[in-house]
Amino acid sequence: MLTLLWPWMLVLLPVPWIYRRAREPAPDQTPALRTAVFGQSLDTDSNVLATKHWLRLVLLIAAWLSLILAAARPTWIGDPVTLPTSGRDLMMAVDISRSMEQEDMLLGNSRVPRIEAVKNVVSEFVQRRGGDRLGLILFGSKPYLQTPLTFDRATMNQQLQEAQTGFAGPQTAIGDAIGLAVKRLKERPRDHRVLILLTDGANTAGEVPPLEAAQLAARENIKIYTIGMGADFMIVRDLLFNRRINPSADLDEKTLQAIADQTGGRYFRAHDPQELSAIYRQLDLLEPVEQEAETLRPSKSLFHWPLTLALAATLLLPLLNWRNS
């Protein structure tokens, strides 16, 4: 459908005619010999000159009409496009503190940092969540909204892949990350709100205690699924012998379990990428809830076409004057 966004600009169309009617004619002109072209007279003894004057009149009129039409902003409005009408508002909070650099994840035949295993698994999860609005929070010492809630899974996945450990600080602000998620989700329908929080440590930074933030989330009807990341043991080589250590000694499972219980969610423990992948497959079983349908009407501005015509007509006017000389 073709429409004008500023149709009131059309009231300017008769301005040249009004100007011509209001202007007093020159004393030596007679009505019989006068042909108006914005106040100009034609020499009736010269057919060639008269033709050029009429062409000038046509060009002026075409330029004026095209200019006014362009100013009225002609726009083509396409057919309505219905956006996905089911799914959840699902925010993911991913820990990118320095501890996520720990290389205790076996991916293929090599050990990789925890953050790389998370990117690999979460990327597949994001691609499977068609119909959900997804958002991404990255947190360390402070939380940052990396991707607002969106249906654009490709952009979110790209921003996840670009995440680097330490960019948000070396520590872990679990409570602040939950608080930021609550702030972004509380504007959405109350029965659609889900937060998946992944961390490998304990709350060591931030202003809001995790359980206090969980209480706020529960009041806003936000369900939180928490994931504890990290292996239970790994072998490290010393100068003389190997020794066994627990790289997840700092993981606060008790608090993560309490956060999930308080909000009606569930706590998961991922010791390796395979378990992490299985956890996200379980999260795929979240039942979609109907949302209010949203429609979008794509539009395309067409003002450049009449504007180009006006410019072309204006450029032809000097050509007529040159041929007349």
Stated length of the chain: 325
Nearest 5°: the CA angle 250, 252, 253 is 130
Q: What are the structural domains, with CATH classification, of the chain? A: 2-78+297-324 (no CATH), 83-290 (3.40.50.410)
Tokens 């999860």 -> residue: 125
Q: What are phi and psi of 46, to 5 degrees?
A: -125, 105
Q: How many other CB atoms sit within 10 Å of the CB of residue 25? A: 13
This prediction has a pTM of: 0.63
Q: 268, 96, 116, 243: which is closest to 165 by C-alpha?
A: 96
Residue-by-residue pLDDT tens, the chain, 325 positions: 888 889 999 998 888 888 888 876 655 544 444 444 444 444 444 566 667 778 888 888 888 999 999 999 999 888 877 665 556 789 999 999 999 998 888 877 788 999 999 999 999 999 888 778 899 999 999 999 999 999 899 999 999 999 999 999 999 999 999 999 999 998 887 777 999 999 999 999 999 999 999 999 999 999 999 999 988 877 667 666 777 778 788 899 999 999 999 999 999 999 888 999 999 988 887 655 455 556 777 888 898 899 999 898 888 888 776 655 5
Cα–Cα distance for residue pair 276/139, rounded to 1 Å: 19
